[in-house]
């Protein structure tokens, strides 16, 4: 397998065995295949194109200002493949793209091919990897979707995935023998269906998260506990427990951009997707709801020392793209707070964006003399901190938990003021204040 990228520094790092992102088990997996030359890296894209019979396009499709997917990288790669290919190729979309992109890709390949005798076949193979568990998800997929137009493409892709489907992949990391607990489902579809599947799946997950957050708001007002409610809901096999976690909403690079792109696709197709628009609106407001909790608890933010645990958009990654921490830090600084922060993987990225905040090298330094502690990422290590020590270090033992990571009763028994999402609030005055709080726009201004 030959891998290429247009960033020569990234390729140089990979050749040296250094993975430029944090992803559990990835470095071990890459190095175990790099040494026997099963996996090579090159900055010469033409070399990579000529070496492969099957070419996977794995470039980014970030959102444009109008929310549509930016497909310029797909177009650039397609023209490069067409000009560099020395023979016929199967070109596979791995990137998340709108429906009918495969048809456009095939058209570009045919237009720019340098030799009329070269034939390009195109397929769609959407990825369903989650940051933080990408290696596990790749080796133990619940389904593999192949959107193909011909039998030859299907057979080639079946052969590519055969070691995983048959459980024959020799795994160098401690994930068992890489045989899935249940056989992976192989789905053969049209290209248009395969392209829709990825956007439809991510958008449905976004709907579940936004629904859980609205239930959390209702729980706060009636004195119920969102954890008890969603646990009972999740036991229903028709619903399931995944993505019913209330808090700061969905962030990261995939869900926000895929929701926007799916909405725009629906609009261009004449379908009114107000349901998804509302889920997006609910999600954007979660940060305003959280900021209002901070304001109500602290009364005055100006001059207060606020500690932050967690900067990445989710645990087990260093990715801060569309992370709630970005907007929360910006708002706190604008209101005059002194901000300290800690994240075991994402601190350098945040420090580059916000040099005015203090990034600490251990979590206990964050809370020293702090007036409030915010939990913005659900790192498991935060759950197991010495909370008695934390209590003793803080100027005011106030914890506002944006991920519902901690148990409210336990925290209050330890002497903390504790507030989460959709959890019973002991302080009735604060509960009433939050219930009557003004709604805030996504920019933080009063509506």
Q: How far apart are CA 165 and CA 179, in angstroms?
A: 8
pLDDT at residue 58 is higher than 90 = yes
In this prediction, residue 432 carries a pLDDT of 44
Q: Could you tell me the two tokens for 230? A: 């969603």
CA dihedral 165, 171, 173, 177 (to 10 degrees): 70
Identify the CATH number of the domain defined by range 285-435: 3.40.50.720
CATH 1.10.1040.10, the chain: domain bounds:
198-279
Band the pLDDT of 435: cuts 50, 70, 90: very low
**pLDDT grade, residue 195 (50/70/90)?**
very high
pLDDT over 80 at 227, yes or no: yes
The structure tokens 């990897």 sit at: 129
Alpha helices in 118-225 (DSSP H): 134-139, 151-165, 191-222
- Tens of pLDDT, residue by residue over 294-346, are 999 999 999 999 999 999 999 999 999 999 999 999 999 999 999 999 999 99
Q: Would you place residue 178 in the very low, low, confident or very high pLDDT band (cuts 50, 70, 90)?
A: very low
Angstrom distance (rounded) from CA 136 to CA 324: 26
In DSSP notation, 80-109 reads HHHHH-SS-EEEEE-S---TTHHHHHHHHH
pLDDT at residue 443, as a whole number: 41
DSSP letters, 203-259, are: HHHHHHHHHHHHHHHHHHHHT--HHHHHHHHHTSTTT-STT---SS---SSHHHHHH
Of 224-228, 370-374, 423-427, which range is least confident?
423-427
- Helices (runs of H) and strands (runs of E) counted in the chain: 18, 13
pLDDT at 193: 97
Give 1-37 pLDDT, tens digit per residue: 999 999 999 999 999 889 988 998 898 888 888 877 7
Residue ranges matching CATH 3.40.50.720 in the chain: 2-192, 285-435
Domain 198-279 part of CATH 1.10.1040.50: no
The band of 115, judged by pLDDT with boundaries at 50, 70 and 90, is confident
User: Residue 174 phi/psi, 5° resolution?
Assistant: -80, 70
* Strand partners for 309: 342, 375
Angle (CA) 242 281 283, round 5°: 35
CATH among 3.30.310.80, 3.40.50.720, 3.40.30.10, 3.40.309.10 for 2-192: 3.40.50.720
**Average predicted confidence (pLDDT) for the chain:** 90
Question: Mean of the pLDDT values across residues 169-176?
Answer: 58
Q: Is 22 left (phi over 0), alpha (psi -120 to 50) or beta?
A: beta
pTM value is 0.86
Q: Does position 255 have pLDDT exceeding 50, yes or no?
A: yes
Which of 121, 160, 133 lies closest to 144 in space, CA to CA? 160
Catalytic residue IDs? 254
Q: Residue 265: which of 444, 67, 415, 128 has the closest Cα?
A: 67
């Amino acid at each position: 397998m030959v891998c290429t990228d247009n960033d020569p520094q990234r390729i140089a790092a990979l050749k040296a065995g250094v993975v430029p992102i944090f992803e559990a088990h990835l470095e071990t997996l890459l190095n175990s295949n790099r040494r026997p030359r099963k996996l090579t890296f090159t900055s010469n894209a033409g070399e990579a194109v000529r070496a492969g019979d099957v070419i996977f396009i794995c470039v980014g499709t970030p959102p444009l200002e109008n929310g549509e997917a930016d497909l310029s990288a797909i177009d650039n790669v397609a023209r490069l493949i067409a000009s560099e290919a020395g023979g016929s190729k199967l070109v596979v979309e791995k990137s998340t793209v709108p429906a009918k992109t495969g048809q456009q890709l095939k058209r570009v390949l045919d237009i720019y091919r340098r030799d009329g005798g070269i034939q390009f076949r195109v397929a769609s193979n959407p990825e369903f990897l989650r940051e933080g568990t990408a290696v596990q998800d790749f080796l133990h997929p619940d389904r593999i979707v192949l959107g193909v137009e011909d039998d030859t493409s299907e057979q080639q892709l079946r052969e590519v995935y055969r070691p995983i489907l048959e459980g024959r992949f020799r795994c160098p990391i401690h994930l068992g023998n890489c045989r899935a607990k249940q056989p992976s489902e192989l789905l053969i579809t049209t290209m248009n269906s395969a392209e829709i599947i990825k956007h439809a799946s991510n958008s449905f997950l976004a709907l579940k998260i936004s629904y859980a957050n609205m239930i959390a708001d209702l729980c706060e007002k009636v004195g119920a506990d969102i954890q008890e409610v969603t646990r009972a809901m999740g036991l229903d096999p028709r619903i399931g427990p995944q993505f019913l976690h209330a808090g700061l909403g969905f962030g990261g690079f995939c869900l926000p951009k895929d929701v926007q792109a799916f909405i725009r696709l629906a609009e261009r197709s004449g379908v009114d997707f107000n349901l998804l628009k509302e889920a997006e609106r609910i999600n954007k407001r979660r940060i305003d709801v959280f900021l209002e909790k901070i304001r109500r608890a602290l009364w005055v933010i100006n001059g207060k020392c606020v500690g932050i645990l967690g900067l990445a958009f989710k645990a087990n990654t260093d990715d801060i793209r569309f992370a709630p921490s970005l907007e929360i830090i910006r708002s706190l600084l604008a209101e005059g707070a002194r901000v300290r922060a800690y994240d075991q993987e994402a601190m350098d990225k945040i420090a580059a964006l916000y040099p005015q905040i203090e990034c600490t090298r251990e979590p206990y330094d964050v809370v020293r003399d702090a007036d409030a502690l915010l939990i913005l990422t659900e790192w498991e290590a935060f759950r197991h901190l010495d909370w008695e020590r934390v209590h003793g270090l803080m100027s005011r033992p106030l914890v506002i938990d944006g991920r519902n990571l901690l148990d409210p009763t336990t925290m209050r028994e330890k002497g903390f003021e504790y507030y989460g999402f959709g959890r019973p609030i002991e302080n009735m005055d604060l509960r009433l204040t939050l219930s009557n709080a003004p709604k805030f726009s996504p920019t933080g201004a009063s509506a």
